[in-house]
Structure 1
Amino acid sequence: MTTRISHWIDGRDTAGTSGRTGPVYNPATGEQSGEVDFASAAEVDAAVTSAKQAAAEWRQSSLSKRAAVLFAFRELLHQHTDEIAKVITSEHGKVLSDAAGEVARGLENVEFATGVPQLLKGDFSEQASTGIDVYSIRQPLGVVAGITPFNFPAMVPLWMCANAIACGNAFVLKPSEKDPSASLVLARLWKEAGLPDGVFTVVQGDKEAVDALLDHEDIAAISFVGSTPIARSIYERGTANGKRVQALGGAKNHALVLPDADIDMAADSIVGAAYGAAGERCMALSVTVAVGDVGDKLVDAVAARLPKLKVGSGADPDTDMGPLITQQHRDKVAGYIAQGADAGAAVVVDGREAEVPSDGFFLGTTLLDHVKPEMTVYTDEIFGPVLSVVRVETYEEGLELINSNPFANGTAIFTRDGGAARQFQFDVHVGMVGINVPIPVPVAYYSFGGWKASLFGDTHMYGPEGVNFYTRGKVVTSRWPDPATSSIDLGFPRTR
């Protein structure tokens, strides 16, 4: 029996009327678990109309009321973490601890947004000219939308909606059609927290719904996380329609391992970062750049750890790595492994030969050595449990390799040398840098985003840049009549 997964409009579950739906699977079994409604352009318009009405009232709410709703929502997220994690695992496949960790990182953004009274404080200049004061304020945009990926169905929406709502906007979410149910759990928790109906909306769907949001005249801004080709398309279409757009694209994250690195620490870190969530993370390490003679030791250390990883259902607490999101994606990743082998890469560990459950969309861990920059396993974002090792002779050669890559989301360096680490953070052309930290996702009071083909637009996600993205500045210049010339009795001596 499959579950019907609907929209959330005006504070309630709303069945689709387009007649179009899509299947939702449990990746651990390969069985269809749900049927999600796909919104038509008319349904998107109705949802945005509801959100627009709600935004007009929500922007008038006091900062203290908004903060109170955010605090209540934060508590509910904390209380329901296990429930949300189970929903994520059932549709995405990641292990429960990963899913709970996703919720925890989303919670950080809600906690940041609870500080909205401080975050929206403006500046004031008294007596900028004689009798004239000047001050700045930030005001909400109105209705904003988020288009989010399958790999983080709770965290990425929370990156967006927490700040957007705290700033006084109404938020319309279009989640991935592959794992849409987590969005509805968030919607119910927002309502329970006291958020007025219509301020948080979910429209399920595919490209038709996305295009309708991009073209809708009442959507002021679009936030997106996904692949680079789609990010580019959304940025171009959204900005052509006069909208603000922040579009985060793909990644090919490198770890530079210097000869003096702690091999055990580096190997542990790289394995977790490369194969966690089956590599379906935009911050996953997919390339290790081994400098000098560290290559053999590092490859041996990584290879020795892979047989210890249990691949299976994410619902099993003993599982280390779950399935991939779909059969098609599993086959695509397996095809990349074959291409790498055919191109001359050394297949140290072959995930296609791993003992994995026969049902579901499973693939074992893969380790490729002696990968060359012209191979597709290096050039393409694989988004799977495949780690490529590229060998270079010097730090300078490794740095040039990283800086010449069109993706520039995250990177890391493993070394005991503080001077080398500081030089790397200065030299590298990447938006997020880890020093002996394999997945350098910033905490919520900084902002997330890469450079080059990993980001379209000039605004990073969440944190201070998120607050700026979801508001617009206004400067007020004021002058009042001189009290000394006023005919009104002020009840106290006049001063000049």
Structure 2
Amino acid sequence: MTSYIKIKNHINGQWLDETNGQYEPLKNPSTGAVIGEVPLSSVETSRAAVAAAADAFPAWSATPLPKRMDYIFKMQQAMKDNLEMLAESIAVDQAKHIAEARGEVGRVIEILQMACTIPALIQGETVQGIANNINGRLIKAPLGVFCGVAPFNFPALVFGWFIPFAIGTGNTFVYKPSTESPLFMQKMMQLLVDIGLPDGVVNIVHGDREAVEAWYDDDNVAGVCLVGSTPTAKAIAEGCGRHGKKTMLLGGAKNFAAVMEDAPMDLMIENILMSGYGSAGQRCLAISNIAVVPEIYDEFIERLLEASRTVKVGDAMDPDAFMGPVISAKAKARVENYIEIGQKEGATLLLDGRNPDVADANKDGYFVGPTIFTDVTPCMQIAREEIFGPVLSIMKVGCINGALRAIKNHEMGNGAVIFTQNSFYTEKFINEADVGMVGVNVGICAPHPYLPFGGIKGSLVGNNKVQGKDAVDFFTQNKVATVRVVDPKAGQQAPAAAGDSNVRSCVAS
């Protein structure tokens, strides 16, 4: 892990240097040190990866389903056997704290368990007796080559959302990791090679926007997947829409927590710390806005401030640290700029996370500590825009309706949670919170892999969500067959009964 890392593309079973594009430095956010380089691949390289996937598709889609599932089982076992190595790869270039990195890899293992149920989810349907001796059949068929774009913050999780379901249903894949956190996929791709996955079924290409835009007019590409910002999701939707390609595009978020007067205080504070400061706030499921009723407002702020001050910021590999750095110097500057904006807007900066105390070895890292604003209103910029850092904005609302109104009026709709022991509040919040994922007495949490993951409104471009049955539906097409059964001994079909219009309609075209 400490040696210089040269990230490579992987196309048609071969690890390849980029010959037509450029390279940019790869840094460890915990120290700011350059630890390697990552290619910005050319359009030609991106198209070559698609061509390799297209060449592999006929044989892979014809591979019997049990054989494809064998690879998913082997993939899961390989991740179990190499969990620590994969987690360390995330902690090195993405700087997610090692404990959280282990949790991310563990969740992908659970997703793979769910992906092993593809044979049950891919079953079609049959309608008998549409007409005399005519039956109808629906099968779920693969489409071809899919391409995926991953964000920096969850390099393993997004791999799990896309690739197992795509290849398990018979498609092939081209994957573009983030240039800021490519190391996990280097390690994971080698594991796919080691389990014997056929060449070209999964390909990796690194790069920026040009590598993605090359997919839009490529006739070999059936669809594109993304987890990223809403503007990027809209750009991909537009590019793919012009050429009739399927898309599964998860965008940004601004998640709410509603704190009621009967909230379980200890449990709530623990969950807010994990959800608000975990991954340094760099996740689409981070708590960001907290709506608190007057009865508990002062006590909540006192308890949250006390707990936030105990959060240790440090190196992602430090087992005693709670929170690592943000991903880059640019990200650090962006978060600090939002802190300035909040002050200018009139919010009270109760806890300032700029310039946190870290070890000397980490002085050049990209650290922002826990930050708390109070006296926030829903119209403020810090309450409306995704900061993507460990910044909490607290607003006072009169009752549950005030919290629900703030959630409904926000343009994003990813997740929201309520802390309460009141069953009326619970059911009202579940039914009325205008988001895609709701929680009760938990942090903003990812649904279990059996269930779909995704928001609504500005947090989801289109209507396709990831994981579970939704993923199987996205990566397949409904193909319908109309079958007339002919008795080979009779030599020909008996004449249709008079008035049997169904026969004529079935065979009219």
TM class by smaller structure: over 0.9
Q: Which residue of 1 aligns with 2:376?
A: 371
Counterpart of 1:236 (choices 238, 248, 251) is: 238
Separation in structure 1 between the aligned mates of residue 262 and residue 216 of structure 2, nearest angstrom: 50
1:287-298 to 2 correspondence within 5 Å? 287-298=289-300
- Counterpart of 1:436, as a letter, is N
Could you say what secondary structure the match of 1:234 adopts? helix
The aligned counterpart of 1:398 is: 403
1:387 aligns with 2:392: yes
| Offset of residue 356 of structure 1 | 2.6
Q: What pairs with 1:276-291 in structure 2 (closer than 5 Å)? A: 276-291=278-293
Return the alpha-carbon distance in structure 1 between the equivalents of residues 391 and 222 of structure 2: 39
Which of 109, 113, 116 matches 1:114? 116
* Greater CA drift, 182-191 or 56-65: 182-191
6, 9, 12: which is aligned to 1:7?
9
CA distance in 2, matches of 1:356, 1:343: 29
Letter in 1 for 2:446: V
Contact 1:349-1:367 at 8 Å conserved across structures: yes
Report the secondary structure of 1:399's partner residue: helix
Equivalence for 1:436: 441
Q: Which one-letter code corresponds to 1:220 in the other structure?
A: A
Work out the CA distance in 1 between the residues paired with 2:61 and 2:272.
45
Kindly provide the CA deviation profile for residues 116-165 of structure 1, in whole angstroms up to 9, marking residues without a partner as x: 22121111122232211111101101000110100001111111001001
Q: What residue identity is the alignment partner of 1:3?
A: I
Looking at structure 1, the residues matched to 161 and 347 of structure 2 have their Cα atoms a distance apart, in angstroms, of 38
1:268 aligns with 270
Instruction: Work out whether 1:473 is the aligned partner of 2:465.
Output: no
Q: Which residue of 2 aligns with 1:459?
A: 464
Instruction: Give the 5 Å matches for 1:29-428.
Output: 29-357=31-359, 358-428=363-433
AA at the equivalent of 1:201: N
Read off the aligned partner of 2:137 and give its amino acid letter: Y
Q: Distance in 2 between matches of 1:45 and 1:189?
A: 24
Q: Deviations over 1:265-313 (max 9, x none)?
A: 1111111100001000010001111012211111111111112211100
Preserved CA contact (<8 Å) 1:356 1:364: no
Question: Partner amino acid for 1:327?
Answer: A
1:246 alignment partner, SS class:
strand
State the distance in 2 between where 1:236 and 1:48 align. Answer: 20
Is the contact made by 1:174 and 1:204 (CA closer than 8 Å) also made in structure 2? yes
Gaps of 5+ in 1: 488-496
- Compared with structure 1, are the counterparts of its residues 102 and 16 closer, same or farther at alpha carbon in structure 2 (3 Å cutoff)? same
CA distance in 1, matches of 2:167, 2:477: 14
Q: CA offset at residue 353 of structure 1? A: 4.6
CA RMSD of aligned residues (A): 1.3
Q: Which amino acid aligns with 1:67?
A: M
Q: In the aligned structure 2, how far is the partner of 1:19 from the partner of 1:46? A: 13
CA distance in structure 1 between the aligned counterparts of 2:433 and 2:119, rounded to whole angstroms: 36
Q: What code does the residue aligned with 2:272 have?
A: I
Report the residue type matching 1:47 in the other structure. Answer: A
Contact 2:252 2:412 in 1 (8 A): yes
Q: Which amino acid aligns with 1:54?
A: A
Kindly provide the amino acid, as one letter, of the partner of residue 7 in structure 1.
N
Q: Distance in 2 between matches of 1:81 and 1:176?
A: 21
Counterpart Cα distance in 2 of 1:67 and 1:421: 40
Identity %: 37
Q: Which residue of 1 aligns with 2:25?
A: 23
Distance in 2 separating the partners of 1:323 and 1:151: 12
Q: What's the offset of the Cα at 1:212?
A: 1.1
Could you tell me how far apart the structure 2 residues matched to 1:269 and 1:277 are?
A: 14
- Aligned equivalents of 1:181, 1:72: Cα separation in 2: 21
User: What's the CA shift for 1:12?
Assistant: 2.2
On the 8 A contact 1:250/1:453 being kept in 2, the answer is yes
Unaligned runs of 5+ in 2: 493-509
What is the CA-CA distance between 1:486 and the residue it aligns to? 4.1
Are 1:70 and 1:193, in contact at CA under 8 Å, matched by a contact in 2? no
CA distance in 2, matches of 1:483, 1:96: 67
